[in-house]
Chain A
Amino acid sequence: MLLKYLFAKNENIPAGSAAVFFGFSSIIWFMIGTGLGSFNAAKLAFPDFVTGVEMFAFGHMRQVHVLAVIFGWISMAFAMAMMYITPVLGNTRLWSEKLGLWNCFMWNVALSLGLTLMWTGITSGREYSDFPWPLDLAVAAFITIPLAVNVWMTILKRRTQGIYTTNWFFAASTFMLIIVFLVGNLPEYFHLTGLTEAYMTWWFAHNVLGLWITPVAAAIAYYVIPKVTGNPLYSHRIGHLHFWSIVVFYSTPAAHHLMSAPLPEWLKSFASVEGVLILVPAIAFVSNILLTMQGKWNMFVENLEVRFTVVGVLLAIPLNMQGGFQQTRSINWYVHGTAWMVAHAHLALLGFSTFLEAAAVYLGLQTLMKRKLYSLTLGNLHFWLLLIGFSIYWISMTMAGLIQGAGKIYEVPYIDVVIAEHPYMIARWLGGTMVFSSTIIWLFNMWMTARAGTEVPVGRMPHELAYER
């Protein structure tokens, strides 16, 4: 089907095709990414599990898991949301469905190639920007730039005078991602080393989270909650505070990842203050969305998309409280380099953002395919497995991190810390495997929705029919 449309005329491609292909691609990558995560967690919990094969060594597989979920699941779900939501908010069609489909096709090709190379050990060796430089350029040329062009052109061709908050974030984030990606990989293009490499690597890593994942996930909430509840967004003004504080405060704290490195102290002080100020956009975002829910809190229980969204928004509170304070000199001294950070990263990517992306994919696929969700029961099962699995993971890794921190500070012998960590590693594997299982259920449910979902009548929204047979 995808191949057929790749070579069709743009006007002959059904509206929403690119979003649908991005949606299913994202779920498949989520399944692959969490499957790899579950496998890696098993290796940490049971050190004798699959040994002797270099390809399956933890060092080969960890970064494949990380990039599969960031550039496969999360970013493709974002692309899906952009292909679907950007035109809707401008009362228009996507600028080019064909570009969107090629974007989706090349994205899958480039990511598969990049992850395969990484798996075999061909990597730049820099966390979060592990791809070798030719693939970095391929990612820019085939993934980030085409996506941005489609989003910007759709906004330019809109049939509304104003631009809704969600589209501010989409337009700005796609622009910022290109800059972050091209500039962040400079150490590789020009073989920069030492502190410059370390700083640029973390500038890249921090900004992929801060200028891509966080704002786009928030933009999804700005769409889903008013759209599904029917309430007006509580405040256009708070939207401004949120948008500009993300741009100003989230683009600058990269040095807080390197608080113990010999960077200039003024840079650390600067970055650390900015790191705490990340709470400003968080406060604006959470208050705006939760106040928009006024009078519709019953939907938090009754509606799957709202439940996913609100849980994601609520998880932004601990996420930003942790993120804001764990990077200050005194706390970072204790938790740096421990499983606390792994827990925090999963709170951001598997907690806050995944719940928001799942809401967008659920809502978008049902709306575009005009099919009611095949099974609400499976949808609920997906939600609870994901939430409980994530919670087990987050809590166990936070505790493990605190133990490691204590071990580090009090100079406990390393092997004693490893032994103390063991039960938490098993809990981590259990939680991660629950998340992986939930993703298989989700893929089945969405596939069956496409194949056998009840058709949604024109003028109705899928969620309005959720409890109708």
Chain B
Amino acid sequence: MTWVFNEPLSSLSQAETVQRSKELWEAEDLGGITEDNNRLPVPVVALVLLTVATAFLTTFPLWGQRPTAAIYEDYIKAMDTPEIQSIIETQGDAAAMKRIVDMNKSSPMAAQLGRHPVDMDDLRVLKPQIEEIMKHPTVDLKDYTVVYPQVKIANFEGNFRPDGKRVRQQPWWDKGYTIDLFYLTMFFLGVTITVKRLPPYTWQPRHHENDRRKGERRHNP
């Protein structure tokens, strides 16, 4: 069971251990079943790496996250302006909503507003709830999530603020991903160590006398 580290990508086992593994591999009959020592095909390795990248990209909180109450703050403030009130009375809700959207085209929240469109009826439902939260000067609207028709404290668990309350905002890098990175690292490390203890994949067992697929390499003549 001694380990060697001079060629870690080839083998982590001593030559004698590798030799014993080869002999056992060719001699053993597991209920009539035998195994080859092929490496993971390169396209499959590429597919595994693509899967890892895809796993993070497709689950990034951006995709599918709920809107925060903060993105509607300017919409709600605009509702009470004389201009919008006048449009509602003369042209109706749809025209007023279109004007509110146009007024906020250059808002830093424009991208999120685009992903979470609302109509005037939605805003009327949200308005009193968001205004109630805005009455508290120390409260950040970004800590609140719109779970229509309700506005709720978000279920993120960020750092503590000086007042003892938690930050309830989506971090760009969720701590769930950090745990995933740890899992992935331990997994690939573990599997690599396991397979590198085997004879190198350049060697293939010959399972019987007539097995000539990989040349003359039989260890149990």
Q: Is residue A400 contacting chain B, with contact meaning CB distance below 8 A?
A: no
> B residues within 8 A CB of A274?
55, 180, 183
Q: Is residue A341 contacting chain B, with contact meaning CB distance below 8 A?
A: no
The answer to whether A266 touches B157, judged by C-beta atoms less than 8 angstroms apart, is yes
Q: Is residue B31 contacting chain A, with contact meaning CB distance below 8 A?
A: yes
Residues of A in contact, count (CB < 8 Å): 59
Contact of A273 among B35, B44, B180 (CB under 8 A): B180
Q: Is residue B198 contacting chain A, with contact meaning CB distance below 8 A?
A: yes
The A299-342 residues at the B interface (CB cut-off 8 A) are 324-325, 328-333
The answer to whether B61 touches A269, judged by C-beta atoms less than 8 angstroms apart, is yes
Q: Is residue B207 contacting chain A, with contact meaning CB distance below 8 A?
A: yes
Q: Is residue B121 contacting chain A, with contact meaning CB distance below 8 A?
A: no
**Chain B, interface residues (CB within 8 Å), range:** 35 or more
The answer to whether A164 touches B30, judged by C-beta atoms less than 8 angstroms apart, is yes
Contact of B28 among A160, A263, A291 (CB under 8 A): A160
Q: Is residue A283 contacting chain B, with contact meaning CB distance below 8 A?
A: yes
> B residues within 8 A CB of A252?
183
The answer to whether A328 touches B33, judged by C-beta atoms less than 8 angstroms apart, is no
Q: Is residue B110 contacting chain A, with contact meaning CB distance below 8 A?
A: no
Q: Is residue B65 contacting chain A, with contact meaning CB distance below 8 A?
A: yes
The answer to whether A263 touches B24, judged by C-beta atoms less than 8 angstroms apart, is no
Q: Which residue of A lies closest to B24 (CB)?
A: A161
Q: Which residue of A lies closest to B154 (CB)?
A: A265
Q: Which of A102-110, A143-151, A240-248, A354-362 contacts B (4 or more CB under 8 A)?
A: A240-248
Q: Is residue A233 contacting chain B, with contact meaning CB distance below 8 A?
A: yes
Q: Is residue B91 contacting chain A, with contact meaning CB distance below 8 A?
A: no
Contact of A328 among B40, B63, B156, B177 (CB under 8 A): B63
Q: Is residue B86 contacting chain A, with contact meaning CB distance below 8 A?
A: no
A132 CB → nearest B CB, Å: 32
The answer to whether B47 touches A283, judged by C-beta atoms less than 8 angstroms apart, is yes
Contacts A329-B61, A329-B65 given; indicate if A269 touches B174 (C-beta within 8 A): yes
The B8-64 residues at the A interface (CB cut-off 8 A) are 24-25, 28-41, 44, 47-48, 51-52, 54-56, 58-59, 61, 63-64
Q: Which of B76-84, B133-141, B186-194 contacts A (4 or more CB under 8 A)?
A: B186-194
Q: Is residue A465 contacting chain B, with contact meaning CB distance below 8 A?
A: no
Q: Is residue B195 contacting chain A, with contact meaning CB distance below 8 A?
A: yes
The answer to whether A165 touches B65, judged by C-beta atoms less than 8 angstroms apart, is no
Q: Is residue A270 contacting chain B, with contact meaning CB distance below 8 A?
A: yes
**Mask for B150-194, Cβ within 8 A of A = 1, else 0?**
000011110000000000001000111101100110110011001
The answer to whether B176 touches A273, judged by C-beta atoms less than 8 angstroms apart, is yes
> B residues within 8 A CB of A276?
51, 54-55, 58-59
Contact of B59 among A226, A232, A245, A329 (CB under 8 A): A329
Q: Is residue A272 contacting chain B, with contact meaning CB distance below 8 A?
A: yes
> A residues within 8 A CB of B40?
235, 237-238, 241, 284, 287
B29 CB → nearest A CB, Å: 7
> A residues within 8 A CB of B186?
248
B109 CB → nearest A CB, Å: 20
A411-B39 Cα distance, complex, nearest whole Å: 52
A160-B37 Cα distance, complex, nearest whole Å: 19
A280-B54 Cα distance, complex, nearest whole Å: 12
Q: Which of A61-69, A85-93, A123-131 contacts B (4 or more CB under 8 A)?
A: A85-93
The answer to whether B177 touches A269, judged by C-beta atoms less than 8 angstroms apart, is yes
The answer to whether B176 touches A271, judged by C-beta atoms less than 8 angstroms apart, is yes
> B residues within 8 A CB of A329?
59, 61, 63-65
The answer to whether B35 touches A232, judged by C-beta atoms less than 8 angstroms apart, is yes
A170-B17 Cα distance, complex, nearest whole Å: 27
The answer to whether B38 touches A237, judged by C-beta atoms less than 8 angstroms apart, is yes
A160-B25 Cα distance, complex, nearest whole Å: 11
The answer to whether B63 touches A240, judged by C-beta atoms less than 8 angstroms apart, is no
A88-B30 Cα distance, complex, nearest whole Å: 8
Contact of A265 among B24, B54, B61, B194 (CB under 8 A): B61
> B residues within 8 A CB of A451?
none
The answer to whether B156 touches A264, judged by C-beta atoms less than 8 angstroms apart, is yes
The answer to whether B35 touches A236, judged by C-beta atoms less than 8 angstroms apart, is yes
Contact of B157 among A85, A240, A264 (CB under 8 A): A264
Greatest chain A CB density within 10 A among B35, B41, B183, B187 is at B35
Contact of A267 among B32, B36, B55, B176 (CB under 8 A): B176
Contacts A241-B40, A269-B61, A269-B177 given; indicate if A89 touches B33 (C-beta within 8 A): yes
The answer to whether B29 touches A270, judged by C-beta atoms less than 8 angstroms apart, is no
B66 CB → nearest A CB, Å: 9
> A residues within 8 A CB of B55?
273-277, 279
Q: Which residue of A lies closest to B194 (CB)?
A: A240
- B contact residues vs A (CB 8 Å cutoff): 24-25, 28-41, 44, 47-48, 51-52, 54-56, 58-59, 61, 63-65, 154-157, 170, 174-177, 179-180, 183-184, 186-187, 190-191, 194-195, 198, 201, 205, 207
Q: List 12 A-B contacts (CB under 8 A).
A: A161-B24, A233-B36, A237-B37, A248-B183, A262-B155, A263-B155, A273-B59, A277-B184, A279-B51, A280-B51, A283-B51, A329-B59
- A contact residues vs B (CB 8 Å cutoff): 85, 88-91, 160-162, 164-165, 223, 226-227, 232-241, 244-245, 248-249, 252, 259, 262-277, 279-280, 283-284, 287, 291, 324-325, 328-333
Q: A161-B28, A328-B63 are in contact. List 19 more A-B contacts (CB 8 A).
A: A91-B29, A162-B24, A162-B25, A164-B30, A233-B36, A235-B38, A241-B191, A244-B194, A265-B154, A265-B176, A268-B176, A269-B176, A270-B174, A274-B55, A276-B59, A277-B184, A284-B48, A329-B63, A330-B64
